Amino acid sequence: MKKFLIVPSILSANFCYLGREIKTMIRAGCNLIHFDVMDNHYVPNLTMGPILLKSIKENKIPALFDVHLMASPVDSLIPLFFDLNVKFITIHPESTIHLDKTIRLIKNIGCRVGIALNPATSLHYLDYIINDLDLILIMTVNPGFGGQVFLSYILKKIQHVRYLINKNKKNIILSVDGGINLSNIVSIIQSGADYLVIGSTIFHSKDYLKTIQDLKNIVI
């Protein structure tokens, strides 16, 4: 089985104890944390913003973040994540008028660039921007809320994107987000995923550390 990375999505965490929750993820070996920003416009939900990451940094919690911007327009938000321990900023192609310009904005603040593809988003976007990408995020649910059911037909999309990455000989991370659990993790990895963004399966369990280890063990 290929190597993969579990990236916990703190959208499903207990926000009363968020610092403690993140430290638990680090203790479990998850040094990259998925951070969902929703604006109640591009998606029908309102979540968190850069002020939260600023607080985490000021409290010296040693986590890196994979920021997923589900917001439109998105350009004005990107500079707000400068110097907040953000490794990736991932955007949706539908969230901006000039996608190439938005990609440059992300690079200009020193972050790696990700593109998120919803279940119905065409892969044709990749024809024009694949050379500029560090990460492709395949959504296996329609974005907006945690705890949704995995759409199994998206496995073919994951496989196709893996084919395109390999065909173009690009060092691009293939990330998958939505409804990942113990019953489907193997098929997702076999389809080509490098990163697995997991929220409810971890944070709604009684023992986070055991659940993360169980997810790792099932694919050994």
Handedness of CA 163, 166, 168, 172 (dihedral sign): positive
For residue 218, the model assigns a pLDDT of: 86
Mean residue pLDDT across the chain: 95
Cα separation, 2 vs 78, in Å, equals 33
Task: State yes or no: 160 annotated in a binding site.
Answer: no
Task: State yes or no: 110 annotated in a binding site.
Answer: no
C-alpha distances (whole Å) from 71 to each of 51, 74, 93, 217 are 16, 5, 11, 35
User: What is the DSSP secondary structure assignment for residue 35, as one 8-state letter?
Assistant: E
Residue 2 above 90 pLDDT? no
Q: For the segment 12-46, what is each residue's pLDDT rounded down to a tens digit?
A: 999 999 999 999 999 999 989 999 999 999 999 99
Joined tokens for residue 123: 């892969």
Which domains are assigned to the chain? 5-217 (3.20.20.70)
Neighbours of 74 (CB within 10 A): 21
Q: For the segment 144-181, what is each residue's pLDDT rounded down to a tens digit?
A: 777 788 999 999 999 999 999 999 998 999 999 999 99
Strands laid side by side in the 64-70 sheet:
5-8, 195-198, 173-177, 135-139, 112-117, 86-91, 64-70, 32-38
Task: State yes or no: 49 annotated in a binding site.
Answer: no
For residue 1, the model assigns a pLDDT of: 56
- Local confidence band at 206 (pLDDT 50, 70, 90 cut-offs): very high
Residue 141 above 80 pLDDT? yes
Q: For the segment 166-175, what is each residue's pLDDT rounded down to a tens digit?
A: 999 989 999 9
Is 0.85 topped by the overall pTM? Answer: yes
Task: State yes or no: 179 annotated in a binding site.
Answer: yes
For residue 98, the model assigns a pLDDT of: 95
Query: Which residues are part of the catalytic machinery?
Result: 36, 177
Handedness of CA 122, 125, 130, 132 (dihedral sign): negative
Task: State yes or no: 68 annotated in a binding site.
Answer: yes
Residue 56 above 90 pLDDT? yes
Q: Region of 8 please: left (phi>0), alpha (psi -120 to 50) or beta.
A: beta
Buried b (16+ CB within 10 A) or exposed e, 87-121: bbbbbbbebbeebeebbebbeeeebbbbbbbbeeb
Buried b (16+ CB within 10 A) or exposed e, 174-202: bbbbbbbbeebbeebbebbbbbbbbbbbb
